[in-house]
Every structure is written in C-alpha cells, then in structure tokens.
C-alpha cells in the first residue's frame, strides 16, 4: 500500500512545480507611479497654491524629465523647486543638476544625478510648483513626455497620474431658468420680428464675477447660430435675468428650433469659463 502511494509522489511534485511557475508568471508587476497631488487643488483668483510631482515605488532612480500642463489663462507659475527625493538622499558629493523651462501652457522639468552613483529607491517628492490664480475656472494638470532613467541609463517603465485644479468662484444657470419670449413665434404678428431668449444665472461664490449666457440655436439637428447676452457684473449669491435677441425672422424661417443655454463667467472679464449646467428649450416659428 505504501509503495502505491510513493508512485504518485513524482507526479504530485511536478504538479506543484507547474502551479508555482504559473503563479510566478502571472504575478502582477508594480510599476513606479509618477503623479501630481492626487487630491483636488482649489484656490480662487488672487490666491496661490502649491502642487508636488511625486514618485512612488521606484527602484534606482537616477534622473528624470517631465512636462506638466496647465491652462495659462487661469494659472501663472511663480516658482519651480527641486524636491528632496533625490537631492537629499543621493550619495554623489556633487549632488544633482536641476533645471526647468516655462513655455506657454506647460512646464518642462529635468533632473540628473551628477557622477556615477547609485540611484534612489522608494517614494517621495520630485518637484514643487507654486501657481498664482489669474481667473476663475477649472483645468487639468496632466503629466506627459515623462522619462525615468536608472543609474545604468536604462529607461524605466512607469505609470502617470495627472492632477486637477478649480476655483470655487463660478456661476451657473439655475433651475428651469431658460425660456423663449414666445413658444409659438408668429412672424406676421411681431412688429420687429425679434424672438427674445431669456435665462437666469446665479453667482455661486463670494467674489464678484462677470457673467453672460450663450444660447446655441439648432434646427434640423444642425447648429444654426449662437447668440449671447450682454456681460454684467454679478455680486455674490445674486441671481440675474439675462436676455439675447434672435432675428429678425421672416416667414421663410418657419420651423422648430431647439436652444441650449449655458452660463459663462470670468473674474477678470478677459478669460471666460463655462458653467456646468446646460438648460434646453424649444420654440416654433410660424409665418
């Protein structure tokens, strides 16, 4: 009986070896992660905020290059500083060479360890960047064209994760707040043949904002035209009613029109950001 059990031992060992090799082959590989602060970054016009570009779970990092994108209508970089991850841990007596270039809507950053020394492993901060906020709005802070090199000059595969910025200063259309003057516009009965489009907008924050409403007018599933209200300054938490004219209309314009209304806002009156909500309505033009 014992001999029969022993006959199965080689087969059992072979099965265990196969299972072990399969589990090893399919074990997940953790790549280094290059990322902007994962939390959302919030600041209002006139203020500043600082983000960091971080590295996580890296082995033997010797040098790197990154580009960080931003909306240069909203943000202006005021400082770019080397983080402590390599600078404070390198064994090179010469330290590191760190440089950056601000070009339009991105920042290019590069850093290299001076001399032939081991790279740094672990997680930490590579770069700190401070922005001044120039206007109200929101934008992504993406990382791209990123390169990580180890101490042998070999490119290191890695993942990236960008960040996000927004101001709490914003405005938006409210409730069921967009409508036409006439849902059935009769051209022959209107003296000036003008259809008036209306919407209500609220300033949602504690800063005065320039506000306007843009109406996109469609017919037969095709954008026909866009009309905009005048720009007005709205004080905090106040709702205003704005209007824009569409026309003059003629009998040949008869048909069904579909309109979407969106608020746009600005702190400076120069760069405009869209609200999040879109209100829709329709009206008919008859001869």
pLDDT of residue 1: 43
Q: Which CATH number fits domain 33-166: 3.40.50.720, 2.30.30.90, 3.40.50.1820, 2.60.40.680?
A: 2.60.40.680
pLDDT of residue 190: 78
Would you write out the chain's pLDDT as a tens digit for each of its 287 residues?
444 444 544 443 344 444 444 444 444 578 999 999 877 899 999 999 999 999 999 999 999 999 999 999 999 999 999 999 999 999 999 999 999 999 999 999 999 999 999 999 999 999 999 999 999 999 999 999 999 999 999 999 999 999 999 999 999 999 879 999 999 999 988 778 999 999 999 999 999 999 999 999 999 878 999 999 999 999 999 999 999 999 999 999 999 999 999 999 999 999 999 999 999 999 999 99
pTM over 0.95: no
The domain segmentation of the chain, as residue ranges, is 33-166, 171-286
- CATH code for 171-286? 2.60.40.10
Q: Where are the beta strands (DSSP E) in 70-203?
A: 75-82, 96-103, 106-113, 120-133, 138-141, 143-150, 159-161, 163-166, 171-180, 184-186, 195-203
d(CA 197, CA 217) in angstroms, rounded, equals: 10
- List the one residue out of 187, 74, 177, 55 whose CA is nearest residue 121: 55
**Tokens of residue 250, six digits:** 């003629």
């Amino acid at each position: 009986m014992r001999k029969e059990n022993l006959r199965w031992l080689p087969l059992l060992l072979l099965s265990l070896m196969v299972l072990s090799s399969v589990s090893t082959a399919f074990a997940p590989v953790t790549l280094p992660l290059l990322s902007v602060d994962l939390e959302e970054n919030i600041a209002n016009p006139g203020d500043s905020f600082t983000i960091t570009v971080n590295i996580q779970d890296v082995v033997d990092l010797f040098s790197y290059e990154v580009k960080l994108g931003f909306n240069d209508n909203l943000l202006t970089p005021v400082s770019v500083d080397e983080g402590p991850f390599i600078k404070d841990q390198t064994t090179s007596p010469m330290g590191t060479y760190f440089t950056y270039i601000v070009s339009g809507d991105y920042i290019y950053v590069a850093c290299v360890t001076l001399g032939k020394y081991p790279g740094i492993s672990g997680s930490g901060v590579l770069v700190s960047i401070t922005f001044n906020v120039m206007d109200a709005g929101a934008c992504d802070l993406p990382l791209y064209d990123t390169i990580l090199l180890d101490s042998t000059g070999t490119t290191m595969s890695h993942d990236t994760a960008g960040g996000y910025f927004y101001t709490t200063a914003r405005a938006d259309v409210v409730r069921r707040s967009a409508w036409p003057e006439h849902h059935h516009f009769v051209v022959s009965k209107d003296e000036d043949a003008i259809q008036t489009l209306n919407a209500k907008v609220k300033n949602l924050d504690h800063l005065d904002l320039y506000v306007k409403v843009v109406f996109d007018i469609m017919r037969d599933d095709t954008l026909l035209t866009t009309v905009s209200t005048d720009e007005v300054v709205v004080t905090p938490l106040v709702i205003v009613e704005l209007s824009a004219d569409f026309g003059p209309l003629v009998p040949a314009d008869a048909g069904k029109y579909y309109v979407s209304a969106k608020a746009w806002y600005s702190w400076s009156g120069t760069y405009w950001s869209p609200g999040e909500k879109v209100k829709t309505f329709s009206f008919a033009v008859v001869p």
